[in-house]
Structure formats: structure tokens, C-alpha cells
Structure 1
């Protein structure tokens, strides 16, 4: 074995990066610098959990456990999104090393693999559910897109969808994943009807039959599972009914997506949290002033976006409580530690100071 070949050099750099970050986050440097992060709370956003049994790609469960173990052994405090939102409303402080977690959508492997892990570590997590997934075994357009492209036997495609032409190699998993990302990005900006027409056309062209109900690998959890899992550590909130982008809908349809998903959680669960999670969650693209007003009128006390950044408990006016920010959970433990400690906050503050000069 050549120790300095490309693969091993990459592994070496990763190991050195983790050692460096751990050293900076640990005592005494971490203790000295922690005030930079003391009033800022990172909220981590997770989606699919890797489940080799059913071919599900996602966050490796072992990595999530490493992250939770790190928090437990280094003095961090897990808080729920509900607790965080209430602290913002009441303008009261939180523990100096507070961290929060969310899961989006409501898939089977999230219930079977991730939620019990959070319960075991006693670190709160809130799962935001697209309720039609549970009620009707439906599945959203973006996962149907993934299903179509990953299941095709074609090695290349040349197609025009939603007023744009696409040509892509589909001869390996990497090319397929790139095509999925490109198409998903384009279709997010299209009206719902155009998106569904594009999926029908894509499925026909690629020779893939799309099941009406979610197949294995895309199946949702059940209401019975949610009721069994609900606790002071595991909570549930609304994420629309059909996981559609609200800005691409008429006012009445968007309002129904918000209010009916909240009603379904109240019907099925003991203590759902009155906090909404916007599908896709990009400010001014996937939601705006209209949607925030609808969420407020539906009885929510807060809502979550997907815009990255800390929630600054010390400066309440900087937080839009109906567009709270979240970091994507990273599949790199060094990056996770960086966000939890003072390091990422120091980078953020440095950039804010030099940005006006650029």
C-alpha cells in the first residue's frame, strides 16, 4: 500500500482537520473563546437517514450518533425547537451551549432509526411532517423525480421539460445524481401543474412507471408510530400536507396546505408543536410575506426556513421568528463540531466585518 496515494492523502487531511477542530473547540481554547457563541444557537436540519436495507441514501446513522455523543460528552445542552421559539418570544436566555435538531418530512427510516437514537441520548428533536404522506401514502414530486432517474435503464437522455432543454449522461450513479440536482433546481421555480407534467413526460421518456403510492424506500412512518414515539424528547410539527412549494400555489390552496396539516397533527397527536416548517424553505423563493402571514393566522408561534445561520438569542430583533434559520446537518464530524463551538461563529463575525470593505 502506498501511504501517500490520493485516497490516503485525502483521509489524512480529513483526520488532521478533525484533530485541529477538536483541539480548538476543547479546553482551554474552547473555554476562552466560547463567549463568541454563548448567545447563538445552531439548529441542525436533517432529512433522509441512510438505510441500506431499502437502498435509502442519507445521513449515516453512525455519524449522527457520533455527533450526539460529542454533544453529550462536551457540555452541550440539547433544546427543542419549541423551547427555542418560546425563549425568543419571552426574551429569556437559554443555556450557553444550546443546540437544536429538526428532521423534515416523516419517512419510515426516520421513525425507525433516527428518532430512537435521539431518545436514547435524551437530546430533543422535532420532526416536521408532510401529513398526506401518512394519510394517503403519497410521496412528493421531488422524491418521484429521484425515483424516475435512479430507476431508468437508459444511459443518456435528451429532453425538454418545463421550457428548458436537458441533455445528460445517466450511465452511473454520479451522473444520475447530478441530473437529479439540476432538474430539481429547475422545477422548484415552476408552477405545480408544470412540475407534474414534466414528471409524467420524464417518466415516459426514461421508461419508468411511477407507483401511485410510495414504494419501498420512500414509505412514510405511520400515525401509530408517531403516537408511540411522541415524548418530551421527540416532538412533531406541520410541514404542509403535500410538501409543495407554497409560493407556486394560489392563496386558497397555500392556506389549506398550512392549516390542514396543522389540524391533522392536532387530530392524531397529544402535543404537536405550533411551529411550521416551509417545504424547501428558501426565503423569498419558497415563502414570503404572504406565507408568513398565513402561518401566523393558522395559530403558529414560529416557522423555520432552510437559510443557514445561527439564531441570536441575545439580539431578538435580528431574528425573524417566522423565518428562523437552520444549518444543514453535515456528514463531516469536523464541520459539525465547528458549528457547535465558537469557530464558525468567529468566521461569521469576521466575514461581517470585512464584507463592507469588499
Structure 2
């Protein structure tokens, strides 16, 4: 019942006639959504529902939101004009094959451009990302639960239900993001052993990357561009300067070799504020990148510094239309300002 009430309230508050009254709050910003996997019955892959995505795109269109390619968002951030006009942009991270096969047709149906950020060693067949291997081990666990020592604490992971397995994946991935590469690999091996799972040498169905030929075909068909997400998906702040150059520029080199018009916007691996810094921003600026996106919640806002273009926030796409619509409307900004005013008045 609460969900239905919220849905009705958000749809009413975000209606164009009401939203126009609050347009000064949103005129110079855009909302960027971040997606990963798509639900795929063929492989049993959980993820975003194509039907729910279509419902959201239709709703955004009815509420008057323009769909902008990410390249145009960054052009307007750099130029300061024209106003972003509360537009919406979409991105997909990593480069799994379901993103083109399942997700891209939905975006094209609504004339909505999308950017796919590629882990280039994954697409090259050189590696299977560590986080995907952990996901595979938990999803295919032969045991009802396991225990792990991570980050100085003991994790007890019941695995009887799909939801428990998803929670276990989230907890272990969160711990691994603050480890160096060798330690992460040790965790991957330990999780697989304790789960009673033998990891395949290469990604099986449901975990396979798209291919360069598929990327070229999608690029030629329009509505999609590809950007760099690093070579190996390692956290940049934990790497040496030479390693960071290899991750960013090596990934970009593969894109420029394989594709006609890759997008010079970096997507930081894992994307938390502590996962990158001024070193990475300076490297990107020195190599003529237009900017970079993070995984921290936030808007693309005009009027900021040139440095701000190298840490543009994104929202993880919510599972329901009402929450997504709230991010795109003035409601979230108004709520934040009211909370800030309340905080200042109580201090």
C-alpha cells in the first residue's frame, strides 16, 4: 500500500505542469543512470527487467524529459550552454553480452542513446573479472552456507535462497574493493573452495563479455557509444602511477583500435570517491578526455569547475519507476535543500 501511495504522489508531483513551477532547481542539471546486468531467462542471469526499463523510458518521455547521449552531456558541461534542462542519460558498465542483446533493443525502441563502458581485457578474453567470479561462486554454491574472515571480521553467509546469495555477494564485494589485487585473488579462490564450486577457466554462459565485432555492429547501428572502464577493473587508487596509466590509457588504446568513434569519458572502476583522485583526474585531462563518471550518487551540473567534470555522479537505476522518477525530478533536490536548511537551523 505504501508503495502505491508513493508511486501516485511522485507521478503527480513530477507531472510536467507541476514540475515547471520548480524548473529553476533542475534547469542546469542532468540525471545519469548506471546499469549493469539484464535479466535473461536464457542464461538464468538476474538483473534489470527489460519490461521495467521500457516502462521507465515511456514514463520519462511522458513527463517531458529529454534523452541525451553522454557525449552531449559532457559537451554542455564544458561549454556551459545550452542548459542541460533536466535531461536524462543512461550508461551500462563492464561490457557483458546481455547489455547489447537484451538491453540495447529497449533503449533503441524509445530513441534513447546509451553508453557502454568496457573492461577491455574482459572483452579481449584475457580475464574474467574478479567480481563476476565471486558472483558465479555464490550463485552456484553446492553448500547451504559458508564462513569467511574478511577485513578483520568473520562473515557468516547463509546460501539457502537466491536473496541470501545476492546479499553474500554484496558483502564480499564490498570488502574486496579495499584490498590489493593479490589479496582479492586469494578471496576468490577461498570463496570458490568453501562454496564447493570449481571456477571455469573462461566465463561460462551468463557471464560472457560482448565481442569487438558485436560492439562494432552496435556502433554502426546507432544509439550506442563505448567508453573505457579500465583494462582489468582494478581500483585505481591502489595502483602505482605506471599501473594507472596502463589501466586508463591501455583501455582507451584498445577502444580506439577496435571502434570507429569511442567516447573519451572514463568510468572509474568501482567508482567510489576514494577509488580515484587528483592523479587520475590530471592524467585524463592531459590526454584530452572530456571527463569521467563515478558510482557515487549525484547529478551532472553546469556551472562547476573544469575539475568537476572528472567526477560526475550517477545514480544506480532503481528497481521501480517511482524512485527513478524522483531522482529525475525536482523532488530530490528540494528534499536535499530542505534537509540542509533544517540541519543549519539546528546548529
TM-score (norm 1): 0.91
1:247 corresponds to which residue? 237
Please give the secondary structure, in 2, of the residue aligned with 1:321.
helix
Q: Structure 2: which 5+ residue stretches go unaligned?
A: none
What do you get for the CA RMSD once the two structures are aligned? 1.8
Cα-to-partner distance string for 1:148-196 (whole Å, 9 max, x where unaligned): 1121111122333465433232222222222222111111101111110
Compared CA separation, residues 118 and 203, structure 1 to 2 (3 A): same
Q: Deviations over 1:182-215 (max 9, x none)?
A: 1111111011111101211221222211112111
- The Cα of 1:27 is off from its aligned counterpart by 4.3
1:322 is the counterpart of 2:303: no
From 194, 210, 214, the equivalent of 1:225 is 214
Cα offsets for 1:285-311 (capped at 9, x unmatched): 211112222222343120011111122
Q: CA distance change for structure 1 residues 195 and 206 in 2, over 3 Å: closer, same or farther?
A: same
Tell me: CA distance 1:318–1:335, structure 2 relative to 1, closer, same or farther (3 Å): farther
Q: Which residue of structure 1 lines up, in the alignment, with residue 25 of structure 2? A: 36
d(CA) in 2 for partners of 1:44, 1:282:
15
Structure 1 residue 190 and structure 2 residue 179: aligned? yes
Q: Which residue of structure 1 aligns with residue 320 of structure 2?
A: 332
Counterpart Cα distance in 1 of 2:111 and 2:83: 17
Contact 1:329 1:336 in 2 (8 A): yes
What CA distance in whole angstroms lies between the structure 1 residues aligned with 2:305 and 2:250? 30
- The aligned counterpart of 1:51 is 40
Of the structure 1 ranges 65-74 and 103-112, higher mean CA displacement relative to structure 2 is found in 65-74
Q: CA deviation at 1:233?
A: 2.2
Give the number of equivalent residue pairs.
345
Deviating more after overlay: 129-138 vs 156-165 = 156-165
Question: In 2 relative to 1, CA 319–339 (structure 1 residues): closer, same or farther, beyond 3 Å?
Answer: farther
Between the aligned partners of 2:85 and 2:176, the Cα distance in structure 1 is: 41
Q: Secondary structure at the match of 1:136?
A: coil
- In the TM superposition, what are the counterparts of 1:160-179 in structure 2 within 5 Å? 160-161=149-150, 164-179=153-168
Q: How does 1:126-145 map to 2 (within 5 A)?
A: 126-136=115-125, 138-145=127-134
